[in-house]
Amino acid sequence: MRQIDADLAGTRGAGGGSEGRQAADLAAARRTLGIEIEGLQMLAAALEGALGTAIMDTVAAVREARGRVIVTGIGKSGHICRKIAATLASTGTPAFFVHPSEASHGDLGMITPDDIVIAMSWSGESSELASILAYSRRFRVPLVAVTSNAASTLGRAADIVLEMPKVPEACPHGLAPTTSTMMQLAIGDALAISLLESRGFTAQDFRVFHPGGKLGASLKLVRDVMHQGHAVPLAPLGTLMREAILLMNQRGFGCLGVLRDDGRLAGIVTDGDLRRHIGDDLLTRKVDEVMTRRPKVIRPDALVASAMELLNSSQITALLVVENERPIGIVHMHDLLRLGVA
């Protein structure tokens, strides 16, 4: 214990106290991000050359494949591969991760000739990938290499090579994969979004794969959560305010939609309108004189997340749902909070 205490004291002294140590820590964090940002900038610049052509070829090959995308890699690259496979799968491109070591013990049976393999190795010389490389060549499974060395074993075996710029790691010893894995992740995201857009993958398609949690709730449609029919507070032009207020209290949304003779929305009476027009004659006035014209409304096919954003930005608590200029429902902030959107 005395030795540990002495070591800690020495560390504090070398750093000029806690403030000096904190400054050094922050400097290391800034340096790390700076090096990784430079790596991403080099990656973006490389897209103007051969890497860009390889990206387009990869997107075309994946789009034309009848099977799934098999993403594989070992070590830190393997962790990145798991994330890339998950991103692909959730954005409309069926994909999964195959561990290269497990592939040698039976998991090669998960790969079919209809699939396409994306293998990641910064050096391109990861021996654990040998079985998958041999298998892909034997059964003519298309192989895409993501590596910094096109002349490596992986690069030479591949049908398409995404050659990454050679950049220094953010690790001061040049050992811990940092900048390299950041660039691998970015390439994976670039492929996933390119495929998403080329397939015309929509927010509603995304919803199918994300039914749970806050994300799933925010991807619901307004029509799925709105109140309809008799629950919607509506009254025609010419209605006296005493009747309007009674109806607002009965429905409990703090507002009342005002209709034209043809059923189109003419305006809305809100609690705020009541406060602005408070006076001895309020109850005898007509809704026409009190209502807000051009109220905030939302379409039934809008995302619940859009409704929440509109409620927050407009600082209101309820939205009338309008289709062809006619109110067909109402959605309240409390409904969205119960769903877990916020």
What's phi and psi for 4, nearest 5 deg? -60, -45
**pLDDT at residue 58, rounded to an integer:** 97
Residue range 198-229, pLDDT digits in tens:
888 766 656 555 555 555 555 678 888 899 99
Report the SS3 class of residue 212.
Answer: coil
**pLDDT at residue 4, rounded to an integer:** 36
CATH node for 222-339: 3.10.580.10
- The CATH homologous superfamily to which domain 8-201 belongs is Glucose-6-phosphate isomerase like protein; domain 1 (3.40.50.10490)
Q: Kindly give the pairing relationship between strand 116-120 and strand 160-163.
A: unpaired
Q: Does 190 score more than 50 pLDDT? A: yes
The segment(s) of the chain belonging to CATH 3.10.580.10 are 222-339
The model carries a pTM of: 0.62
Ramachandran bin of 315, using left for φ above 0, alpha for ψ from -120 to 50, beta for the remaining angles: left
**pLDDT at residue 208, rounded to an integer:** 57
The segment(s) of the chain belonging to CATH 3.40.50.10490 are 8-201
Three-class secondary structure assignment of 239-296: CEHHHHHHHHHHHCCCEEEEECCCCCEEEEEEHHHHHHCCCCCHHHCEHHHHCECCCC
Q: Does 279 score more than 80 pLDDT? A: no
Residue range 148-176, pLDDT digits in tens:
999 999 999 999 999 999 999 999 888 89
